[in-house]
Amino acid sequence: MSRFLSRISTLAVAITVGGCGDGSSNDGDIGETIDPPAVDTRPEQCLEDPMNSGYCLVWADEFSGSAIDTEKWSHELNCTGGGNNEAQCYTDAAENSWVADDMLHIRAIREDATGPSTVDDDPNYDPDDTSGSGTYTSARLRTKNLGDWKYGRFEMRAKLPFGQGSWPAFWMLPTDWVYGGWPLSGEIDILESVNLKVGGEDRIYGTLHYGGSWPGNKHSGEAYQIPGGLNPADGFHTYAVEWEEGEIRWYVDGDHYATQTSAGWYTTADLENPLAPFDQRFHLILNLAVGGDWPSNVNDTGIDEAAFPQEYVVDYVRVYQCTENVETGKGCASSDGDFVHNPGLEPPQAPDSEGDELVIFDGEAKPPYAWYTWTAHGDINYTIEDIGGDYGQVAQITYNTNQGIGFYQSDSAYDLSDYTYVEFDLRVLNEPVDTGAAGLTFRADCGHPCSSGDYPLDMPAPDQWTHFQIPVLDLVEAGLNAGSVNTPFVISPTWDNQMGAILQVDNITWTR
């Protein structure tokens, strides 16, 4: 049963009347004393007096009404698969989420559904779009722009669902995406579990996501098993994180089981800021996913349809902030000293920028960049050739396909927004078969599907070096997020007319 921690301030006024009269003064025979109003000294944001720890309640939902409070939660409505090949469509149907008996219920049901194929925050989101589909329905609630916080204690009491394919979560995403798209701006997973009770599965997980754009996205976290062999699907337990400047701690039923610090997280969008990306405001999310890449790799594969419907039942969600220092969240930490300090991951070495140039290739690929290819069929051969003269060693690219690209890419994305041009030298040793339709295509990428799009170039005359200078602004206007570039150079002859082309490239740089 939910219980709301309420505080009612009262004003006590004592009035003492001695004697009676006609309203005129009579030397104090009638005395009246009024105690001064009680002074509320609690911090402005607090709904309650601070606890001994210094934390005070600033937001709560006890789910004591008859409906989901739309002033605290909104539903996300989509069939995107959550970026993890999940099987559900998220709806706002009463069958998928409701409040009853002082509890929030989120139910995943086996039923075919359609809906938007983009996430709700996508500029192209259309609530009437039915191009997305799923084989289950469920719900995903969030507090975005209704409840957003930087630092605090975030707590939920809940009973988790079970069965192969069940994936409940209580987590946080950035509200403003200051450092760019996922996971550049971070993700805080307060609680996740998958496939509870399948093969004895009884673990919950607390995790951070950060780093660079895919494939440079990183995560670090810890698993936890409730003492006494208790399974989170058999009863209610309390899950929480305490997040302060430079540190995040995880708790189950008050047991502090893991800590991570800013020494082990980073965003490639701002490697000079040791607190980033966990120094901005985040909001809360409650959802029950079905299937996907992670559950399929734990205990079993696929989804056990017989296990559904499943319910995720939430008693309450509460948010506290530290009155010792609201700005940093520091001074209210609770710990029994017996926890895992997860070291996280060190940030990658940023590209070596020499003066006004970021060198991608100059006789060799410069770290952190390496050469990759993608083809629909056939292959692209890449070699380093020593041609002597002014150029020495150059990259030689032979297209044994009509549909392929070659590119220099790093594991992480970097902020290249202060560069003005992409420059490189290129020589055509052999033209494609159809010389009349021959051309070149350049682009730069900021993590799929973020890209500059195709930037056409004229095919230069064979056997002569040509210098290209492409304005970064043109790439940005075509869609490139220059603040998060992981692929600064992509080249190919025109699509469907590549077979037999041989290109040489050198002196690839981004210049200021």
Mean pLDDT confidence for 32-37: 63
Instruction: Supply the pLDDT for residue 473.
Output: 97
* Tens of pLDDT, residues 352-404: 776 789 999 999 999 889 999 999 999 999 999 999 999 999 999 999 999 99
* Tens of pLDDT, residues 105-164: 999 999 999 999 999 999 999 999 999 999 999 999 999 999 999 999 999 999 999 999
The length of the chain, given as a count of residues: 512
Instruction: Supply the pLDDT for residue 351.
Output: 79
Instruction: Supply the pLDDT for residue 399.
Output: 97
| Measured distance CA(502)–CA(204) in Å, rounded | 53
* Tens of pLDDT, residues 257-275: 999 999 999 998 888 899 9
| Measured distance CA(200)–CA(284) in Å, rounded | 29
Q: The tokens 């800021």 sit on which residue?
A: 273
* Tens of pLDDT, residues 209-227: 999 877 778 999 999 999 9
Instruction: Supply the pLDDT for residue 373.
Output: 95
Mean pLDDT confidence for 451-457: 94
The model's pTM is: 0.75
DSSP state of 206: E
Question: Phi and psi dihedrals of 103, rounded to 5?
Answer: -140, 150
Cα–chain center distance at 130: 25
Instruction: Supply the pLDDT for residue 20.
Output: 35
Mean per-residue pLDDT of the chain: 90
Instruction: Supply the pLDDT for residue 2.
Output: 38
Instruction: Supply the pLDDT for residue 34.
Output: 67
| Measured distance CA(320)–CA(325) in Å, rounded | 12
Q: Where do the structural domains in the chain lie, given as residue ranges? A: 59-341, 353-511
Give yes or no for residue 27 having a pLDDT over 90.
no
Note the helical H segments in 287-395. 293-296
Neighbours of 218 (CB within 10 A): 21
Return all residues near 161 (Cβ < 8 A) that are at least 6 apart.
108, 168, 196, 233, 288, 310, 311, 312
Active site residues: 187, 192
| Measured distance CA(68)–CA(504) in Å, rounded | 62
Instruction: Supply the pLDDT for residue 35.
Output: 65
| Measured distance CA(443)–CA(480) in Å, rounded | 9
Instruction: Supply the pLDDT for residue 23.
Output: 40
DSSP state of 78: B
Instruction: Supply the pLDDT for residue 5.
Output: 35
| Measured distance CA(497)–CA(512) in Å, rounded | 34
Instruction: Supply the pLDDT for residue 13.
Output: 31
Give yes or no on whether 59-341 and 353-511 have one common fold: yes
Give yes or no for residue 29 having a pLDDT over 50.
no
DSSP state of 464: S
Instruction: Supply the pLDDT for residue 36.
Output: 63
Q: 59-341: what fold?
A: Jelly Rolls (2.60.120)
Question: Phi and psi dihedrals of 146, rounded to 5?
Answer: -115, -30
* Tokens coding 55: 């934390």
* Tokens coding 49: 């007096």
Give yes or no for residue 8 having a pLDDT over 50.
no
Instruction: Supply the pLDDT for residue 334.
Output: 87
* Tens of pLDDT, residues 488-497: 999 999 999 9
Query: Is 353-511 a domain of CATH 2.60.120.260?
Result: yes
